[in-house]
């Protein structure tokens, strides 16, 4: 999987307007991991109330995303926690509700479940249940998620749909270094609890010129990555790479023009951009790594058929993981890879 991706050009044109860049010339080549560290550095620098913590965070984190921050900002602000995700989440809520800007790391998204109660029953409902007397909006959970080629059941999951199902939470998944920096800074500065899932396979292999300055990318806003006329493909995170490779193959192989949308914020998502596109093309594929049944693709498909019914010329097609745990040696079969997407494009266009 990694090798396929290394041979394809995924670079984006810098969207100077959206990023509201003051110094668009001032760029630095960085991978996804380094941009996360950079965004965290800016968050610590610009907001003295911000704190960063989690398992092994002090020495830089097992993925090195907090590298150098402890040395720079001290152990009160960048620290190790004992090994307990429910502890991290509850502690984070306490910090956020009492004046800090809490940025918590859950070492792997697969290990967020001990924290599920604190996130879903507490963080998500803090504002609502108190009549807005209290909130924990200054709260961000960062966590690496998704397939890596050898992660198996517990180092591969994409749990975004669980959190998208919870009113009160914002769920974000970036696709690239430039996106990650702007979206993470927006997440940290947003006044609602945000779950920020980082596609960990991209930490090292996704590298591009990233603006050095402090910039934000709006949440709840999708991005049209490529315009097209025949078919809309919606995805997020690493999976967009599979989409881009599949679209390149399809457009080379036969006469088709695909529009690609990066949802970016999974929920609450940018309905307008999604619906507008599908109304234009009349056909849609949604694709994500997580299991198909009850995945976020199901919500999108339902919304699209509800709002675009008369525009649709084919059923909304989902290309997703199977309804099995994520299996080690079968990963290549399990994943909704570019060949499965290519086939879905053919069938949907032909429909």
Partner 1 sequence: MFCKSILKNRAFTSSANRFLVQGANRQFGAMDLINYDLFDHKFTNDMEFRSSFDKLKCFRVLDEEGNVINKDYEGSIDDQTLQKMFKTMVMMNEADVVFNQAQRQSRISFYMTQLGEEAAGVGSAAGIKDHDLIFPQYREAGAFLWRGFSIQQMAHQLTGNVHDFGKGRQMPVHYGSNKHNIVTVSSPLCTQVPQASGAGYQFRISGQDRIAVTYFGEGAASEGDFHSALNFAATLRAQTMFFCRNNMYAISTPIDDQYAGDGIAVRGIAYGMPTIRVDGNDIFAIYNACKKGREMIIKEKRPVLIEAISYRVGDHSTSDFSQRYRDEKEMLKWKELLSKFKSPIHRLENYLLKRGLVKPEDSKQYRLEALNQVRDALKNANDQKKPSIDDMFNDVYDTVMPHLEDQRKQLKEHLKKYGEKYNLDTFQGGNAFANS
Ligand X SMILES: Cc1ncc(C[n+]2csc(CCOP(=O)(O)OP(=O)(O)O)c2C)c(N)n1
Judged by the rule CB under 6 A, the positions of this chain that interact with ligand X are: 55, 83, 85, 107, 111, 114
Burial code of 88-98, b = ≥16 C-beta within 10 A, e = fewer?
A: bbbbbbebbbe
Whole-Å CA distances, 97 to 89, 142, 341: 12, 18, 44
Token look-up 């991991």 returns 33
> Does the footprint of partner 1 cover residue 218 (CB under 8 A)?
no
Task: For residues 238 and 235, give the distance between their C-alpha atoms in angstroms, rounded to a whole number.
Answer: 9
Say if residues 93 and 126 touch (Cβ distance below 8 Å). Answer: yes
Q: Which residue, 181 or 317, has its beta carbon nearer to partner 1? A: 317
Strand partners, 231: 258
3-state class of 136 per DSSP? coil
3-state class of 236 per DSSP? coil
Q: Which residue, 83 or 302, has its beta carbon nearer to ligand X? A: 83
Q: Which residue, 181 or 318, has its beta carbon nearer to partner 1? A: 318
Spacing of C-alpha 25 from chain mean position: 27
- Cβ 86 to partner 1 shortest distance, Å: 5
- Cβ 55 to ligand X shortest distance, Å: 5
- Which of 38, 55, 216, 259 binds partner 1 (CB under 8 A)? It is 55
- Which residues inside 111-130 make contact with partner 1, applying CB under 8 A? 111, 113-114
> Does the footprint of partner 1 cover residue 254 (CB under 8 A)?
no
Q: Which residue, 134 or 339, has its beta carbon nearer to partner 1? A: 339
Token look-up 């960063």 returns 52
- Cβ 160 to ligand X shortest distance, Å: 19
- Which of 98, 153, 167, 229 binds partner 1 (CB under 8 A)? It is 153
Count of residues in the chain: 351
State how beta strands 231-235 and 284-291 pair.
parallel
Q: Six-digit token pair at 86?
A: 């429910």
- Which residues inside 283-342 make contact with partner 1, applying CB under 8 A? 292-293, 322-325, 327-330, 332-334, 339-340
Q: What 8-state DSSP symbol labels residue 336? A: -
- Cβ 243 to partner 1 shortest distance, Å: 17
- Which residues inside 58-87 make contact with partner 1, applying CB under 8 A? 58-60, 62, 80-87
Q: Which residue, 116 or 322, has its beta carbon nearer to ligand X? A: 116
Q: Out of partner 1, ligand X, none, which partner does residue 305 contact, by CB within 5 to 8 A per kind?
A: none
Question: Under rule CB under 8 A, how many of the chain's residues touch partner 1?
Answer: 40
Which runs of E-coded beta strand occur in the chain?
27-31, 50-54, 78-80, 101-105, 139-145, 170-172, 194-199, 207-211, 223-226, 231-235, 258-262, 265-267, 284-291, 317-321
Residue span 154-173 as binding mask against partner 1, x where in contact by CB under 8 A, dash where not: xx------------------
> Does the footprint of partner 1 cover residue 98 (CB under 8 A)?
no
Catalytic residues: 85, 155
- Cβ 111 to ligand X shortest distance, Å: 4
- Cβ 239 to ligand X shortest distance, Å: 24
Cis ω before 252 (30° cut-off from 0): no
The residue ranges that bind partner 1 (CB under 8 A) are 55-56, 58-60, 62, 80-87, 110-111, 113-114, 150-155, 292-293, 322-325, 327-330, 332-334, 339-340, 343
């Amino acid at each position: 999987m990694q090798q396929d991706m290394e041979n394809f050009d995924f670079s984006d044109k810098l969207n100077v307007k959206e990023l509201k860049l003051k110094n668009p010339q001032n760029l630095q080549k960085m991978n996804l991991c380094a941009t996360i560290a950079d965004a965290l550095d800016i968050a610590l620098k610009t907001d003295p109330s911000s704190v960063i913590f989690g398992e092994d965070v002090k020495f830089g984190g097992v993925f090195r995303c907090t590298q150098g921050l402890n040395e720079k900002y001290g152990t009160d602000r960048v620290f190790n926690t004992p090994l307990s995700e429910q502890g991290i989440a509850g502690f984070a809520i306490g910090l956020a509700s009492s004046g800090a800007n809490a940025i918590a790391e859950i070492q792997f998204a697969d290990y967020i479940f001990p924290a599920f109660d604190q996130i879903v029953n507490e963080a998500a409902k803090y504002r609502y249940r108190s009549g807005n007397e209290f909130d924990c909006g200054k709260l961000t959970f960062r966590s690496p998620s998704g397939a890596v080629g050898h992660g198996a059941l517990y180092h591969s999951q994409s749990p975004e749909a669980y959190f998208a199902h919870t009113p009160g939470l914002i769920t974000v998944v970036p696709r690239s270094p430039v996106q990650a920096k702007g979206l993470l800074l927006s997440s940290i500065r947003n006044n609602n609890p945000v779950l920020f899932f980082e596609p960990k396979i991209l930490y090292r292999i996704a590298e591009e010129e990233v603006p050095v300055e402090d910039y934000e990318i709006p949440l709840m806003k999708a991005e049209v990555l490529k315009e097209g006329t025949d078919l809309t493909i919606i995805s997020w995170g690493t999976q967009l790479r599979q989409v881009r490779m599949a679209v390149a193959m399809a457009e080379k192989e036969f006469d088709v023009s695909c529009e690609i949308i990066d949802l970016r914020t999974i929920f609450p998502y940018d309905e307008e951009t999604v619906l507008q596109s599908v109304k234009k093309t009349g056909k849609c594929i949604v694709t994500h790594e997580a299991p198909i049944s009850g995945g976020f693709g199901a919500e999108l498909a339902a919304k699209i058929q509800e709002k675009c019914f008369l525009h649709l010329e084919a059923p909304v097609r989902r290309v997703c993981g199977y309804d099995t745990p994520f299996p080690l040696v079968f990963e290549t079969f399990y994943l909704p890879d570019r060949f499965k997407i290519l086939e879905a494009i053919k069938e949907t266009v032909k429909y």
